[in-house]
């Protein structure tokens, strides 16, 4: 069997964490099995779907690197095909026109509720042979009334639902537009989807979809319903819990691989392993290892993972993303060191690329002000003498390099009989404007001769005044 999975978002918002996890699991399963991964945009709900949302989904998939083998396929382009299938179901007696008014359906529901019955359509129009030409009719599926449906779910095991529990769902609205359950079934069938991997919020739709597929004599896909993701408060993860859009994580300085690694562990595990490269994920992923129970979103762990990737990934790779963030805060990277060197110097102390970009501004731009606290603590009477001493020796240095710069700082401390910190800290504040930076020799080497000398001179003037 050729494995084919799909991610089928409705474009009614951004690509959120839950959607991204569904996409990742579907993508992984296809890759693991040498299969194909399809992106299908379920945009038939014209009122709620927006082009901006389609863009946001495509952008999110692109940033995560979840490339699809087919698609994006837009359902709005397939309306004729849905109509064809609806006609087929009508012709073979598996669907019927229903003219029940809103008022009747409302009364029916209220009556059922008052008797504490499950609200469901009673099938009145099943046998009335309504004239197709009549206005304001919907088309319903003739769900079997006896027997049961078994969902063979790879994650949750077998789930049996009695057909009596299911009513005749609407396949086409009064305006003729097809409904979600119909379009999904037609697409999964036509696209030969072998595995439907999706959130378990769809599990109630599955027996209905199985019945329609069976009426169409289509082969059933394997189903795998993923447990939901909860926020720290135990409620289903939602906008309330803060950053749930994938692109927001990019904006906050996360790496796509860290987010993917985090997402794969939300509901899946392989022993105690926490860090998985994409290749490892593909190698190890199985649907059988997906947890049955819900998992909780833990922002601290995501941050930890991001830091691990920042520290251990190829610096060139990290620099590629850092440049995006430097540009985003208005830094011209041609005005300073190679971002790869910034990554090497800063990666231990920065958990996100936003932090790293902000903490690296002084390498590229002169600062207008010193950090007040840093000045108070480190620019004392006499600090100008230390800086003057350093300036003279730095000026004489022929080749600007970390080892010699370090030696000059050491020698200065020794000859002025000061602790190293009393030399390095005023120097750091002088050249960075703040009291935190990478090791002083690395900082100076990265800053380069011109910026260093000029900033030391400025600091001497500042202290003197």
Least distance from ligand GLU to the Cβ atom of residue 197, Å: 8
Among 4, 5, 8, 362, binds ligand GLU (CB under 6 A): 8
**Segment interacting with ligand GLU, rule: CB under 6 A, options 4-12, 232-240, 382-390, 409-417:** 4-12
Q: Which is nearer to ligand GLU, 202 or 451 (CB)?
A: 202
Q: Which is nearer to ligand GLU, 47 or 300 (CB)?
A: 47
First to last CA, the chain: 80
Q: Which is nearer to ligand GLU, 224 or 445 (CB)?
A: 224
Asked if 194 and 1 touch (Cβ cutoff 8 Å), the reply is yes
Q: Which residues contact 370 (CB under 8 A, 6 or more apart)?
A: 379, 429, 433, 434, 462
9 lies in the binding site for ligand GLU (CB under 6 A) = yes
**What distance in Å separates the CA atoms of residue 106 and residue 148, rounded to the nearest whole number?**
28
Binders of ligand GLU among 145-184, rule CB under 6 A? 184
Tokens 């490339």 sit at which residue?
A: 67
Give the x/- contact pattern for ligand GLU in 33-52, rule: CB under 6 A. Answer: ---------x----------
3-state secondary structure of 367: coil
**What distance in Å separates the CA atoms of residue 219 and residue 216, rounded to the nearest whole number?**
9
3-state secondary structure of 108: helix
Asked if 167 and 120 touch (Cβ cutoff 8 Å), the reply is yes
**Segment interacting with ligand GLU, rule: CB under 6 A, options 8-16, 217-225, 319-327, 328-336:** 8-16
Q: Which is nearer to ligand GLU, 9 or 267 (CB)?
A: 9
The catalytic residues are 239
Among 10, 163, 248, 365, binds ligand GLU (CB under 6 A): 10
| Beta-carbon-side half-sphere exposure of residue 275 (alpha carbons within 13 Å) | 12
**Segment interacting with ligand GLU, rule: CB under 6 A, options 7-15, 231-239, 250-258, 418-426:** 7-15
Residues listed for the chain:
465
Binders of ligand GLU among 198-227, rule CB under 6 A? 198, 202
Least distance from ligand GLU to the Cβ atom of residue 166, Å: 17
Least distance from ligand GLU to the Cβ atom of residue 184, Å: 5
**What distance in Å separates the CA atoms of residue 4 and residue 193, rounded to the nearest whole number?**
5
**What distance in Å separates the CA atoms of residue 43 and residue 51, rounded to the nearest whole number?**
9
Q: Footprint of ligand GLU on this chain (CB under 6 A)?
A: 8-10, 42, 184, 198, 202
């Amino acid at each position: 069997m050729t494995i084919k999975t799909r991610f089928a978002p409705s474009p009614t918002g951004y690509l959120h964490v839950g959607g991204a996890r569904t996409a990742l699991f579907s993508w992984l399963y296809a890759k693991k099995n040498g299969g194909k991964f399809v992106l299908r945009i379920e945009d038939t709900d014209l009122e709620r779907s927006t082009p901006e949302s389609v863009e946001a989904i495509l952008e999110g998939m692109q940033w995560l690197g979840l490339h699809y083998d087919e698609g994006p396929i837009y359902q709005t382009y397939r309306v004729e095909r849905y109509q064809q299938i609806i006609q087929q179901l009508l012709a073979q007696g598996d669907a019927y026109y229903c003219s029940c008014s809103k008022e009747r359906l409302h009364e029916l529901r209220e009556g059922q509720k008052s008797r504490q019955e499950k609200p469901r359509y009673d099938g009145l129009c099943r046998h009335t042979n309504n004239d197709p030409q009549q206005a304001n009719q919907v088309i319903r599926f003739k769900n079997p009334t006896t027997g049961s449906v078994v969902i063979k779910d790879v994650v949750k095991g077998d789930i049996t639902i009695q057909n009596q529990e299911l009513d005749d769902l609407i396949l086409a609205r009064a305006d003729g537009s097809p409904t979600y359950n119909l379009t999904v079934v037609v697409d999964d069938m036509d696209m030969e989807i072998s595995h439907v991997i999706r959130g378990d919020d769809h599990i109630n739709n599955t027996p209905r979809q199985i019945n329609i597929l069976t009426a169409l004599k289509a082969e059933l896909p394997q189903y795998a319903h993923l447990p939901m993701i909860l926020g720290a408060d135990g409620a289903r993860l939602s906008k309330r819990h803060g950053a749930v859009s994938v692109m927001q994580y990019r904006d906050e300085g996360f790496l796509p691989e860290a987010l993917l690694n985090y997402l794969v562990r939300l509901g899946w595990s392989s022993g105690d392993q926490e860090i998985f490269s994409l290749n490892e994920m593909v190698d190890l992923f199985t649907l059988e290892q997906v947890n049955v129970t819900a998992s909780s979103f833990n922002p601290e762990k995501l941050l930890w993972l991001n830091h691990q990737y920042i520290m251990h990934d190829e610096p060139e790779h990290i620099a590629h993303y850092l440049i995006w963030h430097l540009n985003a805060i208005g830094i011209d990277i041609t005005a300073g060191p190679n971002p790869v060197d910034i990554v090497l110097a800063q990666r231990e102390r920065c958990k996100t690329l936003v932090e790293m970009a902000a903490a690296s501004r002084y390498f590229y731009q002169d600062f207008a002000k010193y950090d007040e606290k840093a000045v108070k603590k480190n620019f004392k009477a006499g600090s100008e003498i230390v800086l003057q001493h350093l300036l003279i020796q730095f000026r004489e240095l022929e080749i600007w390099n970390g080892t010699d710069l370090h030696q000059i700082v050491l020698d200065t401390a020794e000859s002025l009989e000061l602790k190293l910190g009393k030399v390095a800290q005023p120097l750091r504040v002088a050249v960075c404007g703040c009291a935190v930076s990478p090791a002083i020799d690395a900082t100076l080497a990265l800053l380069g001769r011109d910026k260093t000398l000029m900033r030391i001179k400025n600091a001497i003037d500042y202290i003197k005044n």
